[in-house]
Structure 1
Amino acid sequence: MNSSPQWLSRYRRGQREQVWHELHQWGSAIRLHPELVEEAQSVCDEMARRARQNVEVVVARLTAAGYRFHENDDEETPVSCPHAPPTAQADAYAGWLRDRFGAVPMTLCSWVRLVGDVWLVGTHPEWPTSASADPLVIELEGSRHPDGPSLRDYHDEEWADWQEEQATDEDPGVFVLPVAPDRLHKENTSGGGPYGFVLPDGCVDGLFVGETTTSFVAYLNQVFGSGGFPWPTGSEGEWQVKRSLAEGLLPL
């Protein structure tokens, strides 16, 4: 397989799909080539910077429109911080993820270090069913709840429980690192298991389990293409709101 020493420059020039395709082809074997790992990580970091810009734009647009960010509970408890940037401990947390799970996708680490935690659940004044549209939620470091329960402890317990199941269950399935409630739980109704990343995974861009299973970057492009709300609700005002939110967002 031919390597490309121009991944980052090509990505910045707009050859994003081709670059991701080449990186996907390498699979976890890319880890055997340190010079390629460095450049692949630089592409993932560039992706994360673009994603953070998109998040900041969407949050600003929602705020200006009078969007009410809230929790997915009966009280619709207000959320004052829908986007919490990475903390000073983000690099250490990314390192802990690598150590704990053996291998994690580079795109996941880039998100932890450069984007932070995002919670877009809420209600739009011109689109009352916006919480039913699977709003973007990614919570990895726990920066949105600095005084709350540790996400590291939560992830550690989930991993330990899965390993215990693996020892006793003939088919425990893959481990999914939970990072968001599923679509139905976001709208405060009964749903399924949380969204998350299949681990361990040494590929550049890993598998993200949501309503479907796809690469993390493909998932994010779908989300930002709909202004942060990828699920159709068929409600009045939905498409106008989504178009206004998605206008000018950066493809990843």
Structure 2
Amino acid sequence: MSDWLTRYQSGQRDAVWHEFRELGARVHDRADEARAVCDEMARRARHNVELIVERLTGDGYRFHHNDDDQTPATPLVPPTDGAEDHLAWLRDTFGPLPLTLESWVRLVGDVWLVGTHPRWGTSASADPLVVEVEAAKYGGQHRDHLAEEYEAWQEEPEGLYELPVAPDQLHKENTSGGAPYGIVLPDRCADGLFAWDGGRMPFVSYLNRVFADGGFPVHTGTDEEWEVRHRLAEDLLPL
């Protein structure tokens, strides 16, 4: 169990995440060491996102919102000077946060890969990666919206609360869909639970699945997508 960061960097990533899961909230007995691993995970994720964005941009990909006008969107908004303040607000509002979520907010930022590829017309249907936690582009309205939704949930709680961080697959392609993807809160563990498509999995497991497919984890069955997805995923770092 010793020297988690060195072991993670040497390739023992699965073993380290397994130990974190076994420890649960007790991981905070060695919070600084666990946080160092989560920060390294976030730096690797940031590298992957930047590489995907660079490759998509070179392809002529149009990053846009999931609206009728396909309003241009910024694919990666780095953490702002208010990122730590937003984390404090999240803790005050929802309780403890998983360390991987904190590291994502501090080191990655907001990711929005929805758009249209010039050679892969159904790319928006492939569930492109979106993780917006600070949601800086929405300003203070985002906090107000989250607080109102959480207050309504507390009046009639159903299951575990899931902090919304992304539209679901159908909403990403601008059609009616289900509940947004989210992170289960409160959570004092190292890695959080990512809720999507009616199920839950560790956040890092979800990210690894997405990066293995170049940021587009749902196969749409077109001839063009394999070449595009394969090239996007090439040399991305496992988390």
The 3-state SS of whatever aligns with 1:179 is strand
Pair 1:238-2:232 in alignment:
no
Matched, 1:177 2:170: no
Matched, 1:250 2:221: no
User: Identity of paired residues, percent?
Assistant: 60
**What is the rounded CA distance, in whole Å, between the counterparts of 1:158 and 1:49 in structure 2?**
31
Alignment of structure 1 residues 1-252 onto 2, 5 Å: 4-31=1-28, 33=29, 36-79=30-73, 81-143=74-136, 145=137, 148=139, 150-166=141-157, 172-211=158-197, 212-252=199-239
Instruction: Determine the C-alpha separation between the residues in 1 that align with 2:186 and 2:148.
Output: 16
Cα separation, 2, equivalents of 1:76 and 1:113: 29
Instruction: Count the aligned residue pairs.
Output: 238
Task: Find the aligned partners of 2:193 and 2:217 in 1 and give their Cα distance.
Answer: 18
- Deviation digits for residues 35-94 of structure 1, max 9, x if unmatched? x11100110000000000101000010000000111111111122x11000001111211
Does the CA-based 8 Å contact 1:69-1:120 persist in structure 2? Answer: yes
Task: Determine the C-alpha separation between the residues in 1 that align with 2:61 and 2:94.
Answer: 37
What residue identity is the alignment partner of 1:232?
A: H
TM-score, length basis structure 1: 0.92
CA distance in 2, matches of 1:95, 1:129: 39
Task: State the shift of 1:154 in Å.
Answer: 2.0
- What runs of 5+ residues in structure 2 fail to find an aligned partner? none
RMSD: 1.1
Alpha-carbon distance in 2 for matches of 1:183, 1:58: 19
Secondary structure (helix, strand or coil) at the match of 2:88 reads helix
Distance in 2, Cα, partners of 1:103 & 1:109: 10
Q: Alpha-carbon deviation of 1:149?
A: 5.0
Select between 36-45 and 96-105 the one with higher mean Cα deviation. Answer: 96-105
Letter in 2 for 1:231: V
1:19 counterpart letter in structure 2: V
